[in-house]
Structure 1
Amino acid sequence: MSRRDLLLALVVLAWLLPAGAPQAELVVVVNARSGVSAMTRGEVVNLFFGRSRQLFNGIEAQVADLQDAHPDRERFYRALVGKELADVNAYWSRQLFTGRLQPPPQLKTSEEMLRWVTERPGGVGYVDLRHADARVRVVYELKP
């Protein structure tokens, strides 16, 4: 095979491969023993923006978020409400300034998020679908 043929084959192969690594879907998860099996988009929005403090069955919701540096945080809010992180952070700054609400605690990793949700009866968080396991129940899938 000539150098030209090899180069042409590499170009064709690169063109056929998807651009970048595929990202799995983000999902909202709850404690597997919470009794919650599904949530609507509105319920998820209300929980993550502090407008609701309870799950539909009366259990106190204990929502966790990821830190700004975690790439899934930006993906989550863009898919959930179509907002950039600056907009989400500005919302929480206003809530803090007025004394109305405290933002959810921010965790560093998906594993910390899974532990948070698992250790609390009303634990609610989000992870990449690849990380969801038997410790949690997937209740909402975010579409990119």
Structure 2
Amino acid sequence: MTERIPLDELTSDALDALYAELAAAHREADEAITAAAHLTRLIGKRSEKAEKSAEKQRFRADIAERELRTLRAGLRANGADPTQIQNLWAQIHLRNRQWREEKQRADQTQAAIERVRAYLERRAHNVAVAPIDVLAVLDETKE
């Protein structure tokens, strides 16, 4: 802030400078108000979008819940126990995962066997093959 100038010492140039400062302050205030209004509109739009998305998710969850109730009621009506079926499904899912893991291990083992065979074929003219070399081949990993 500028130092106060006594009125009787105020020159025309000093008065013009004060008016220029005042006009700049008004422009800055207008820009700040415009920016705040723009920000408020953006936040409002994003909030609206988030609310619409949440409403859509709630709607989908309600549909899924109704379908699940209908499915459970249909199972009960046909003499089935929904909880038992759910448990069976979980067991099947677990067994499938275990099967995939075992298959992956079997594939890795088969790849290791093939690497050893290839190594031994390359060394067929050598009568002596060191066990440590075979172990090194087994430990190799293929990408």
Is the shorter-chain TM-score for this pair beyond 0.5, marking a shared fold? no
Q: Higher strand fraction: Structure 1 or Structure 2?
A: 1
Name the TM-score class by shorter chain.
under 0.3
| Higher RCO, Cα 8 Å, sep 6+ | 1
Q: Which has the larger radius of gyration?
A: 2
- TM-score, normalised to structure 1, is 0.24
